[in-house]
Chain A
Amino acid sequence: MDALLELLQNDARLSTSQLAERLGRTEAEVAAMIADLQAKGAILGYHAVVDPERAGQRHVSALIEVKLTPERDGGFDRLAQRIARFDQVTSCYLMSGGYDLAVLVEGEDLREVARFVSEKLSTLDGVLSTATHFQLKVYKQSGFIAGEAHVDERLAVSP
C-alpha cells in the first residue's frame, strides 16, 4: 500500500496497468487497492501541480493566519470546516503555536483575496483576528522544485 501511495503521490497519472507492472501485482489487485484508499478517504483527490507564473495564469495566493475562539463542544472544528468550504480556500490546517488556523487562499488578484478576507473570513463569528501574507514567488510546490527540469548527464554507456 505504501509503495502504491508513493507512486501515485509522485505521478497520479499512472494507469492501473502501469502501477501493476511496477508493483509486481495484477491490475485487478491495484484497482482494488486504489478503490479501498479512496473509500476510506486516504486519497482525497488528484490534480496537476501548476506553477502559475510559468502557466501564465492570473493568480495570487496568500497564507492567512487566523485566530479563533474555540467552542465548548468541538473546539475549532465547526468553524474550521466552515472556512474550509469556501472555494477560495485551497488548504486549511489547525496549527500549534501563535495562531490557530493556517488558511491558504487563492484568487485571480489581490483585490479578490482581500475581499474574501475582509468580507467572508474576518466577519465570521468566532474569528478573532487574521494576518494575511501574500505569496511572492514559488520555489517549490507539493514536492516539485519550480523551474527546474532534471537533465540526465550520465554517460550513455558506462561499466
Chain B
Amino acid sequence: MKPLQDRIAQHVRSLPRSGIRDFFELVVGRDDVISLGVGEPDFCSPWHIREAAIFSLEKGQTSYTSNLGLLSLRQEIAKYVEGLFKVSYDPASEILVTVGVSEALDLVFRALLNPGEEVIYHEPCYVSYNPSIVLAYGKPVTIQTKVEDNFVLRASDVEAAITDKTRIILLNFPTNPTGAVEPVEELEKIAALAIKHDLIVVTDEIYCELLYGGSDGMSPGEHTSIASFPGMRERTVLLHGFSKAFAMTGFRLGYACAPTVLTEAMMKIHQYSMLCAPMMSQQAAIEALKNGAPEVERMRRSYAQRRNLMLKRFAEMGLPCFSPGGAFYMFPDIRKYGLTSKEFALRLLEEESVAVVPGSAFGQAGEGSVRACYATAYEKIEIAMDRMAAFVKRLG
C-alpha cells in the first residue's frame, strides 16, 4: 500500500502549516500566559443577540434555510450595507449569507479563478488568503507593504504587479494584522486600475466598524468602501460579517454582496458544499443588525481605550509602533533588537509568559514585527505591558 502521506493531493501537501497554529501549540497548556495572540473580541456576543438565538431554538427553527440565507436576514443586510458602505444590493439576488467571511473567500476564489490565474493582495495579511487562493488553483501575487509607509497599499505597486493573468485584486482594510486603513485617494487609484485592467476587486471589510478617529482614537471614524466608487459596484465582491464588530465569532456568519452573476456563481458552490449557514446564527444576526448598533459602539469605545493604553506603553518602552486606524491589533516594529519575529515572540513567551504572534505568520512583509491584540481585559494588558517593558529593556 502506498504511504498515506502520498495520498494527500499535491496542492494540499505543499500548503505550509499556519505559523499561528505552530505558535498556538507552544502556548497551549501554559496557564501563566497572558495572550495577546488572539484574533477575536474578548466580549461575549451581546445578550440580546444570544437571546435571539435561544428564542430561535425554542421556536424549533432548526431546519435548512434558502441557500442564499433567510430573506429577512438578507433584507436587513441590504439596509445595513447601504447605510455603512453607501452601496445598495438587491436582497433577492445579490447577497449570499455564508459560514463566516472565510467561506465567502473560499467561494469567491473557487467561483472566479481558472487554474493559474492570479490574485494580487497586500501583505502582511490574514493567514487564509494565500491558502484560499492556492486551494482554488489560483496564483497568489503579493505586494509587500511597509511600516515606513504606514502599511499603505500603493496603487503604483498594484499596477506593477498586474499581468495578463491577473483576475482579482484582494483588499483588506482595516487590515489584520496591522490595523492599517487605506487612504481614500489611494483607494480611488486602485479602483481606477481595476477598471482600466478590467479586474474584479474582492474586498474583505470585516473590521470596518472598528475605526478609531480623532487624536485620542475615541470617535468613530468614517469608513470608505471601494465598492462605493463610480464603476466599482459592478466589479466588486464585498465581504463582511458579524464576527468582529458584533463579537459573534462562534456564530460563524458572514456574507458576500456582489452583482447577481457573481453571487449566483458563489451560491452554486455554496449549495453543494455548505448548503446554508446555520439558521439559529442567521436569526441571531437579524437581531444584531436590528438592535446591535449601541453595543457595537460601546465595544468600539472599549477597544479604543485599550488601543490608547497599548500605544502609550509601547512608546514608553521605546518599542516603535505604527498607530493603527482600525481593527484591534498593534503591529510593533521589533527590528532594532536584531531578532526575527519568531525569536522575539518565543523569547517573550518563555521569559515573560506573554504571547504575541510573530509577524512572519502574516507573510514575508510581517517579518520584523509582532502582532499584539488588544481585545483582552485591561488588567491583563497592563500586566502584559509591564512584562514586555522588562523584556525589551533586557534586549537593550
Contact = CB atoms under 8 A, between A and B. Distances in A.
Interface residues of A, number: 17
B216 interface: yes
Most B Cβ at <10 Å: residue of A3, A21, A152: A21
A156 B355 contact: yes
A154 B42 contact: yes
A6 interface: yes
Contacts of B215: 24
A150 B309 CA distance: 22
A158 B244 CA distance: 13
Contacts of B38: 154-158
A152 B247 CA distance: 13
A24 B214 CA distance: 10
Nearest to A145: B47
Contacts of A154: 38, 40, 42
Most B Cβ at <10 Å: residue of A7, A18, A22, A25: A22
Contacts of B39: 158-159
B24 A21 contact: no
Contacts of A150: 44
Nearest to A154: B38
A110 B300 CA distance: 45
B127 interface: yes
Contact of B18 (A3, A7, A159): A159
Nearest to A7: B305
A8 to B, nearest CB: 12
Contact of A158 (B33, B37, B44): B37
Q: Assign chain B's interface to a size class.
A: 35 or more
Interface in B300-325: 301, 305-306, 308-309, 312-313
B24 A24 contact: no
Contact of A156 (B37, B216, B378): B37
B37 A21 contact: no
Given A6-B301, A156-B38, A22 B378 contact: yes
B308 A159 contact: no
Contacts of A43: none
A23 interface: yes
Interface in A131-159: 150, 152, 154-159
Contacts of B309: 21-22
A144 to B, nearest CB: 14
Given A3-B218, A158-B37, 17 more contacts: A21-B308, A22-B308, A22-B378, A23-B216, A23-B305, A24-B218, A24-B312, A25-B216, A154-B40, A156-B27, A157-B20, A157-B23, A157-B355, A158-B39, A159-B18, A159-B126, A159-B176
21 contacts: A3-B305, A6-B298, A21-B312, A21-B313, A23-B218, A24-B217, A24-B308, A25-B216, A152-B42, A155-B38, A156-B38, A156-B355, A157-B20, A157-B35, A157-B355, A157-B357, A158-B20, A159-B20, A159-B39, A159-B126, A159-B128
